[in-house]
Structure 1
């Protein structure tokens, strides 16, 4: 067998030697692109410059429960994160065309501040379903950025233009800031000269929304943990009781329910005035955020008296938020050091103010704070059962 194999190899080699040899195409080496800063190179065969970057990170946290029944009973938390950035730029007759993508992944385990309920609720993470892993193990994937910029326009998934200090190096989500990871938007920025710029942005309200308070939802989620059907109903229908009319004495009568889940009806509108100079930056931001509910879910359960009348479905209310920010460069301490100061106020737009950054977002109440004496409610509005109107939270 060995002799036969050697003979076949010899014949194959002889035949290969008789074939004409085609020269390989010349290799186009990667060229450095210095137009847009360090790290860019030309994509071979194109005029597009690309920078590939990223980072890897590990975190460990130790936190003993401060009260009985607080947290999951875990003392340790772990998190490994990965980030990949792709920044492509092409020079055109009308300016630079830029496309930017950032993907983030993470593996999180342990106590609640490592296992992020916020990421589960917004659909960025995949929770474990095993007996020991449920509520403790989570895989995370997020399209953090995916936008195009050209001639003052920005479109795609990016940081909200409302944000000033979009915190990046936070520990266990423990940095209070006005920003969320990213949102879907379409914006135009005008350069006014002398360091001034103005932006008008239309943004996806889904990433700035805190649920309208519904006592039926809270009760179902807290007290009926064993009834999955009722839990699903509470989340997908979120019924809130309202009185449907008044009797001759002016007392409310007739009980019905309103679906208080907010719909995507009107985008959030953000306006920004910014000032940039060598010493730092300053910014004033404003946002309008619609708060709405669905239609009536059921007929009156009981009517008392005659001609009680019916209250119409609650109208949409418009929340708003404002923010001022100041950034001061401090190169005399170390290159790149900065000081950020900012303050925000909102009505019916709590996530613009950063109020839920630590305890969790996209939820009506949060209890992940260790040793907290009471639940924290962050709803953008409460449905008044007597007037069937939305009352905005300040």
Structure 2
């Protein structure tokens, strides 16, 4: 047994020596060299070369917590939510390559957040498809998830193509914790633009932009909740109808036609901007053209239910109109006051282009009307145009805004901003008077109620003031801890309206001898000509 064991061990040793000798004769295979990430200094801090390419990339982002308190006048429905909260995450990817034509750049930004409660839960973002709401009993319209491709554009040889901020904008709420001053701020739109640089700080841009992100509904049945209301026409939730009187062949009014005034996307918006940048600051002059259109008559009703004979009704066609806006802005760098100090001044005027002047920025966009606070005593209207119910002609609204914002550094760690803005919005006198005086009830019978229209909330001309201040502490680089307070007031420029806060659902059935509105039971209804509110918000934000 010992002999067998010795033979086996000796054989194993011999095989090991042979294998070792053969391995020594084989060529040695070297490991592939490791390509380490290299710093790219051509475009600033944080860029590195993508291994194996000549493209430099920077990855950055943001984490943010926000909480806010908003004043309310009502506890009905969701109006009892005075507090709101938000957690937000942001991811930026910036890739740049140097070419014979200059820098080729691609930039992508993703924003994701969870919002709850008053104000921070945004109806504007839902209407433009950037957010979706909860559907639970206690969470419906209170909790909201926000997912948005905020930026996705390519820049090359003066060309910008993709999803980017509108070239019309200038100040765009730069110094505000949550942008709410009056003024245009469309941070995400689809566009194709070319920028020419002339040297010495001068440049000019021509941009073709997606019109969907600048559409305010025409005046019709659609409300903030997309429900029929203003003419009591019970239609599909997506409908937006407006009435126009129709005549027979002899020119005598015999009924109403209800036109679909949802706007189609037929022509892009055209934006032009001239800009100058220097050590003292910046200046910009921009202009935009915006198409307004309407569809055909969807329903025709006759007074008294008379039969409509072929050719007996003449329905006017609502023609296409073109809104426009102009804006001028200045930014002054004020290092002689304190390093980092800056002052913005901006003004904008438009016809049929409310989202270019930004009159609805505080209250909310992409809706024909909204209240400035929970349970507001009356709605504020933002329609780009109203259709004259007699002529069928589209009459454009006019709006203008001015804003000033000053950022001051008390110390390198402490800074404050002061914000003040004012604007006015007016509608065509003819359409406003007719739509208020003729109470279309959806049955084909316009009922003229003298005096009652004086207290109608429809299409009132308004003015608006938004003012605020903030204080922010940055104990370390890229960390902000701040609080901001804002005040908003909306004034009716012509007459008074029934105070829906004090008389919810109140409708004037007539006026008394003193000219005051009264309900059907004869009770005098309270009226008002202004609505104001305030908000306080705080933020903790880390950029990296």
Q: What is the TM-score with the length of structure 2 in the denominator?
A: 0.63
Instruction: Spell out, residue by residue over 1:285-324, the C-alpha distance to the aligned partner (whole angstroms, 9 max, x if none).
Output: 0000001112221345456999765233211100000000
Which residue of the other structure, out of 98, 123, 133, is the alignment partner of 1:91? 98
- Structure 2, unpaired ranges of 5+: 1-15, 399-544
Which residue of the other structure, out of 125, 136, 141, is the alignment partner of 2:142? 136
Partner of 2:214: 208
2:169·2:185 contact (CA, 8 Å) conserved in 1?
yes
Q: Post-superposition shift, 1:122?
A: 0.4
Instruction: Spell out, residue by residue over 1:15-69, the C-alpha distance to the aligned partner (whole angstroms, 9 max, x if none).
Output: xx99999654222111111111111111111000111111111111123424554
Partner of 1:77: 84
Partner of 1:322: 326
Which residue of the other structure, out of 32, 53, 75, is the alignment partner of 2:60? 53
Between the aligned partners of 2:38 and 2:126, the Cα distance in structure 1 is 43
Q: What is the TM-score with the length of structure 1 in the denominator?
A: 0.86
2:108·2:152 contact (CA, 8 Å) conserved in 1?
yes
Partner of 1:266: 267
Which residue of the other structure, out of 358, 361, 378, is the alignment partner of 2:362? 358
Q: CA 1:48–1:157 in structure 2 vs 1: closer, same or farther (change >3 Å)? A: same
More off after superposition, 339-348 vs 161-170: 161-170
**Superposed CA RMSD:** 2.8
Instruction: Spell out, residue by residue over 1:180-201, the C-alpha distance to the aligned partner (whole angstroms, 9 max, x if none).
Output: 2211000111112222111111
Partner of 1:290: 291
Between the aligned partners of 2:275 and 2:136, the Cα distance in structure 1 is 49
1:385 maps to 2:389: yes
Between the aligned partners of 2:151 and 2:109, the Cα distance in structure 1 is 5
- Structure 1, unpaired ranges of 5+: 1-13, 225-229
Partner of 2:402: none
1:245 maps to 2:247: yes
Query: What SS does the aligned partner of 2:110 have?
Result: strand
Q: CA 1:105–1:114 in structure 2 vs 1: closer, same or farther (change >3 Å)? A: same
Between the aligned partners of 1:219 and 1:102, the Cα distance in structure 2 is 30
Q: CA 1:223–1:382 in structure 2 vs 1: closer, same or farther (change >3 Å)? A: closer
Query: What SS does the aligned partner of 2:65 have?
Result: strand
Partner of 2:41: 34
Q: Post-superposition shift, 1:338?
A: 1.9
Partner of 1:174: 180
Q: Post-superposition shift, 1:135?
A: 1.1
1:193 maps to 2:199: yes
Partner of 1:3: none
